Amino acid sequence: MDLLQRFATGDLDAFESLFRQYQGAVYRWIVRIVRDPAAAEDLTVETLWRAYRAHARFRPDASFEAWLRRIATNAALDHLRSARRYVPLPADLPAGPQPDTAEQAESRKAIRSALDSLAPRLRIVVQLGLIEEESYREIAESLGISESAVKLRMFRAVRILRKKLQQWDVKP
Amino acid sequence: MNDREFKELGEKLRGAIPPLRQPELSRDLWPAMLQKMNEPRVRVPWFDWALAAIATAVLIFFPGAIPALLYHL
């Protein structure tokens, strides 16, 4: 019996092997959504814990990574929705290669605020699609929706962002 | 909105929030997983179950109470 089949029966040793194999990939996906390394570590554990509890629903012939990515995306979305509905981006995000002028710093702040103000289901699409430059197909698979639904969310999010940035006099 | 404007907004966003290309996990999370697995499950006290049963019975026997309940939720 191979590793995935053993996992599907609830074998803990198989789960440990899969955990060690996939924890890095799950973390990399989540940290790009929540942009907070400590929260991303907790959510990685939560994702794999949810996967283990749902082992009986996993079909060994399906892609384990795609299944995990979908669980991870849901866990990250739950995190963005929790507490105060929105989790603001950490203020100490790395800056670009050039030091900011006051105007650039203001513009960056406005852009982050605009992104923070988006509903999590729109924000996740902007972060993965426009910032991390993931394909619509990958985003759609991770969210469990169609590519056209992702495009629609992106269109709505961009329209809101542009409107907010125009209000704040930041040239979108 | 045309493609150029869309592209410009993407560049602006990436300028303000740089992409995390290959963020690496700094430690093994298996010990944290084991800790999570060994956490005691949250137990629901018996009186919570009793309360839920009473509420269900009230709703079944007095369906007229449903709108009032919904109003107060």
pTM of the model: 0.78
* Residue pair A130/A76 in contact by the 8 Å Cβ criterion: no
Query: Which residue shows structure tokens 């996967």?
Result: A51
Condensed to tens digits (0 to 9), the pLDDT of residues A71-81 reads 999 999 999 98
pLDDT value, residue A107: 82
Assigned token pair, A115: 């992104």
* Intra-chain end-to-end CA distance of chain B, in Å: 42
Interface with B, mutate which of A16, A17, A28, A33 (most B CBs under 10 A): A28
CB contact under 8 Å between B16 and A107, yes or no, is yes
The distance of B59 to chain A (nearest Cα, Å) reads 31
* Residue pair B9/A172 in contact by the 8 Å Cβ criterion: yes
* Residue pair A127/B35 in contact by the 8 Å Cβ criterion: no
Per-residue confidence band for A144, with pLDDT thresholds at 50, 70 and 90: very high
Q: What is the ipTM of this complex?
A: 0.76
Condensed to tens digits (0 to 9), the pLDDT of residues B8-67 reads 888 989 988 888 877 889 899 999 999 998 887 777 888 889 999 998 998 899 888 888
Q: How far apart are CA A97 and CA B2, in angstroms?
A: 29
> CB contact, 8 Å: B13 with chain A?
yes
